[in-house]
Structure 1
Amino acid sequence: MQIRLWNHNLKVRLIGEALFNMLFWMYFPFITVYFGAALGNHIAGMLMAIPPIFSLLGSLLGGALADRLGRRPVMLLGASLQTVMFALFAVSSSHWIDYAAFIGIGLGGAFYRPASTAMVADLVPTQHRREVFATFVTANNVGSVLGPALGAVFFFHYRQELLWTCAAVLLLYTIALFTTVHETFPRMTMAKNPADSTTIANVWKEQWKGYGIIFRDHVFLIYTLAGIFALVPIMQLDLYLSVYVIHHVPAQPLFPWHGDSPLLSSTEIYGWLLGFNGLLFVLFILPVTKWLQHWRDRNVFILSSLLSGVGTFALGLNTHFWFLFIVTIIFTFGEMVRSPVTQSFIARYAPEHARGQYMGADSLQGTIGKFLAPLTVTLSNWVPPMGIFSIILVFALISVGLYVWLFRIYVEESAEE
């Protein structure tokens, strides 16, 4: 589906989200370093475990409100909250206020995302959803490639200017949402008896009742478990892979067959692998999504788990720079094929009246995955590298088994209906 054929809502959001995402990656990778320098690494480590909890609660609440109030108001709420929090971060003279602002920024993003994803599902026909979601992922990954390189300069030397720029861009984007984006919420799914839900207590009760129904949906539960196990290998790029490369991969020439080749340190090798991963996403996610557009979701999920698991495991087989580059291609493609299919699967599976709630509940995969994935770093104090890579492979294989089980049940239930 060509961009020129997209709904106006999607075009506005693609530009706004791509621009903000680049600014996001100019500060986010350095936040832990910032708080570590100010408060100590031990305290910073504990503090960084708290924002994902707020993000999870924000996603659940944002998804529920998106089904109750509409997509547009929730997106405006999330973008406005982020704008205010960036401004607070910029004027703050206290590290604790900085931390509160950082949590507020994450909370605003958590409100925004389920409503944003639900709006795509509202507007895009089923057969084009993978491609549209892949386009958004591509735009976001352009920022993840350029942002850290720029942020290494701007965050530490021009932090206030960077934060004010983030606030200004979000303010302009909020205005654009307010003036040009129209509501896509299907009106027939409005609360049947709004008068019974006017108090805050009734709103919360109704929303959590809705999530209770979702979490009793055994197909969705298996899907969530499979996603958690699948994400543990995928998340290792920023976790154990950094530890492994820096501590176990020796410095070596970039072109060993050339006598005057520059020598890369272990840290530089990791940086190259990280940048290569982002570049692959930008260049290939759309072509790969088109290539796999006729594949069943089941096969794409299984392929993703196998590629990410086997690719990550293979990292431990050799420390040669170019071997690591080849293996990076394998596990990156595992992550790449998964992203658009995950969003399109939920968009199709979720009932229209609860699409926002399902999008919000889908964030459980990432939140729980972020808690489990760092265990590999902790275990590396006692377990050798091949042991860690074997554990990662086991997680991937478990996810494959869960996806096979999931689609057996899903097909059977679909057939019965």
Structure 2
Amino acid sequence: MDTGDTAWLLTSSALVLLMTPGLAFFYGGMVRSKSVLNMMMMSLGAIGVVGVLWVLVGYSTAFGTDVGAGLLGQPFEFFGLDGLLGKDALSGTIPTTVFVAFQAMFAIITVALISGAIADRARFGPWLLFAGLWSLVVYFPVAHWVFDFDGKDAAGTVVDPGGWIANELLAIDFAGGTAVHINAGAAGLALAIVLGKRVGWPKDRMKPHNLPLVVLGAGLLWFGWFGFNAGSAVGANATAGVTFVNTLVATSAAMLAWLAVERVRDGNATTLGAASGVVAGLVAITPACSAVTPVGAIAIGAITGALCALAVSLKYRFGFDDSLDVVGVHLVGGLSGTILIGLFASDAAPAAVNGLFYGGGVDQLWRQAVGAGAVLAYSFVLSLVLGYLVKFTVGFRVEEEAEIGGIDEAEHAETAYEFGGGLGSRGNSRPSVAAGAAAVLEGSNKS
């Protein structure tokens, strides 16, 4: 065991967990004020559901002994982390429990990302049911495909086969362009179709109610993403340093590119555009951060930032209500970052593979395209099935009256902002803001 590697992975795990509350702020600020709590609760709920499932069967499904051509790990091999708690249970140079914790955070954020596509209209209980089913049927197997590398003995012989994308296809996905972003984006598209359009959309564009919350969320996501990408080096080493720098510059370039598109197309560079460009850049560099130089990272960030800025308007053309642009940012950004590896990969980077622009031909390009397409198709089809299953059994969407009146009140009996009278948490009456203002004015008049 290496204590430096272990300390870095523990820190990275905490950083990645912070991304989910950051996402709650990001998404919460983008919806209307009557929906902000429900939006945040869908992210927080994902932590609870996926956290429990990961320890029970998720880790085993993703990283257990392969039971079929790189498609699935043995789900109950490490049930409840049985056999992994001893000091001799290591994954490389770190305790296996630390690796379990790190990967748990990936599973959580992936599920939480989906919720943005169905903002303002999903019931909370059925969302939790879908989150659990989707984790079991979609995320855990795909994590096996992408993240479970073959275990080899000292002679280089494979003794513990892993997932087919990582080991047979040899597509590069360092930190989750396919398993996280394409996966979540495809699921978001499927659920947007299942639940249908919000009442009043697209005539009412339903603008964000709190842009400072959006910027706060984007900042927390960027901060946590250094653990997401650099932590995926699974050690405090040179690869972590390269991925850290690439994460910085690609995201910076994507933000500038998004703002440039807005300026040319709309005449203004917006705060929402800056925050969205940040997320698009983070998405794009996630699969590529170990495969490109910083110059390549800037190119991938700039291309993806511009593409995503244009892609978010596709929902109006095709008529699917992807409320918070999960498809336009995560699906399009994930596809862009994953496929562009085939163009910009350089053997000077830790992955040591050349893409088309560096003399490597199209070999890596087709591998990237196949991996991205396979995850997209699998996630979209299974997400449709699971979405309709929830819809036709327990009901997925709130009633129209609740949607118009406010989903926070209907689902959680709470509101994010109290502007009038109300009851305190213990039932004691509180003076309203208006009453307080009136009292101050009255005192001023008397004096």
TM-score range, shorter chain: 0.3 to 0.5
**TM-score where L is the length of structure 2:** 0.31
Q: Which has the larger radius of gyration?
A: 2
**TM-score where L is the length of structure 1:** 0.32
Which fold has the larger relative contact order, with Cα–Cα distance below 8 Å and residues 6 or more apart in sequence? Answer: 1
